[in-house]
């Protein structure tokens, strides 16, 4: 069972995850009919910026994060922003959406000047996330775990970050055992997505470069 | 607009205050 502290940690992270979202009007813009490569580019850039702000607001609510060294907080956020963005956008693509919406989103991304080489791994990742049928708690906890990665560049006090990540990992492990009793591999499969995210992170840097030049 | 700021600038600004204000 969860200890009282673990329950508090879970609810704290879940509330923050539900509270801090991309503004509704911006999300709606994505579904408009207007399509031009420039508009898609601008909209996706604006979405990415808004997502970083939402990510920071979420992260500030992770118990213990604001007690970390200030520069380490920045190193963690900078190192995880792209992965957290892919994880969150995966949720958009896997949640039961009115049929048309996901195609509009996918079409918009495919027609925004991003080369196919980067789009395919992105949608493969969304598919593999979809197969896990993750609950909201799992998305929130996995996002926190991604951010609290002690091995990000420029992090100095790795032990302090590891202690925080360990606490969240333990909550996720218990949550999976409680809510997926017939799937002993579920927790391991969730963590497997984190390694997939790291390759997307690498792709993303190259993609931005090629996107800017084109 | 915020989208011209670099990633680190956006993070620093958001960490300091509530960015939405």
- Note the pLDDT tens digit of each residue in A182-213: 999 999 999 999 999 998 888 887 877 777 77
Residue whose structure tokens are 């922003």:
A81
- Element holding A70 (H helix, E strand): helix A70-94
Would you call A45 and B10 a contact, using CB atoms and an 8 Å cutoff? no
User: Is A19 near chain B, with CB under 8 Å?
Assistant: no
**Model-level ipTM above the cut of 0.90:** no
Distance (Å, whole) CA A141 – CA A145: 6
Average pLDDT of chain A is 88
Give the model's pLDDT for residue A89.
Answer: 86
> Would you say residue A28 has pLDDT above 80?
no
The torsion angles phi and psi of A8, rounded to 5 degrees, stand at -65, -45
User: Are the CB atoms for A44 and A112 separated by under 8 Å?
Assistant: yes
Contact indicator for A113, A214 with CB cutoff of 8 Å: yes
Residues in chain B: 21
Please report the pLDDT score of residue A209 as a whole number: 77
Quote the tokens at residue A6.
């673990």
From A171-180, A191-200, B1-10, the region with the lowest mean pLDDT = B1-10
DSSP state of A67: G
pLDDT at A134 over 50: yes
Per-residue confidence at A99, pLDDT binned at 50, 70, 90?
Answer: low
- For residue B19, the model assigns a pLDDT of 52
Distance from CA of A41 to the nearest CA of B (A): 12
* Secondary element (H or E) of residue A158: helix A158-179
List of chain B residues whose C-beta atoms are within 8 Å of the C-beta of residue A74 = 8, 11-12, 15
Q: Burial-class residue B12 by CB neighbours within 10 Å (0-12, 13-18, 19+).
A: middle
Q: Per-residue pLDDT averaged across A46-68, rounded?
A: 93
Mean pLDDT of the region A169-194 = 96
Residue A88 sits at φ, ψ, to 5 deg, of -70, -40
Neighbouring C-beta atoms of residue A45, cutoff 10 Å: 16
H/E run at residue A205: helix A186-213
Angle formed by the axes of helices A37-60 and A70-94, to 10°? Answer: 120
Query: Is A21 a residue whose pLDDT tops 90?
Result: no
- Whole-number CA gyration radius for chain A: 17
Contact B20 A53 (CB under 8 A): yes
What is the rounded average pLDDT of the residues A79-102? 80
Mapped onto helix, strand or coil, the DSSP state of residue A57 is helix
pLDDT at B12: 93
Instruction: Give A78→chain B minimum CA distance, Å.
Output: 6
Task: Please state, for a pLDDT cut of 90, what percent of chain A lies above it.
Answer: 58
- Contact of A196 with A87, CB cutoff 8 Å: no
Closest CB from B5, B7, B15 relative to A73? B15
């Amino acid at each position: 069972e969860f200890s009282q502290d673990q329950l508090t940690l879970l609810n704290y992270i879940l509330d923050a995850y539900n509270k801090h979202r991309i503004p509704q009007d911006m999300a709606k813009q994505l579904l408009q009919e207007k399509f031009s490569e420039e508009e898609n580019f601008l909209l996706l850039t604006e979405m990415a910026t808004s997502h970083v702000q939402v990510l920071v607001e979420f992260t500030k609510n992770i118990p213990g994060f604001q007690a970390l060294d200030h520069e380490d907080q920045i190193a963690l956020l900078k190192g995880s922003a792209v992965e957290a963005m892919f994880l969150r956008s995966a949720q958009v693509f896997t949640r039961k959406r009115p049929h048309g919406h996901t195609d509009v989103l996918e079409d918009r991304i495919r027609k925004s000047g991003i080369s196919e080489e980067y789009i395919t791994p992105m949608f493969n990742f969304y598919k593999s996330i979809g197969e896990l049928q993750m609950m909201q708690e799992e998305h929130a906890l996995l996002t926190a775990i991604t951010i609290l990665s002690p091995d990000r560049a420029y992090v100095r006090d790795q032990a302090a970050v590891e202690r925080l990540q360990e606490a969240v990992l333990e909550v996720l492990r218990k949550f999976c055992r409680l809510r997926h009793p017939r799937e002993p591999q579920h927790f391991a499969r969730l963590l497997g997505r984190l390694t997939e995210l790291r390759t997307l992170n690498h792709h993303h840097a190259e993609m931005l470069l090629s996107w800017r030049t084109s | 607009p915020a989208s011209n700021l670099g990633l680190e600038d956006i993070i620093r600004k958001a960490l300091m205050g509530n960015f939405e204000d």
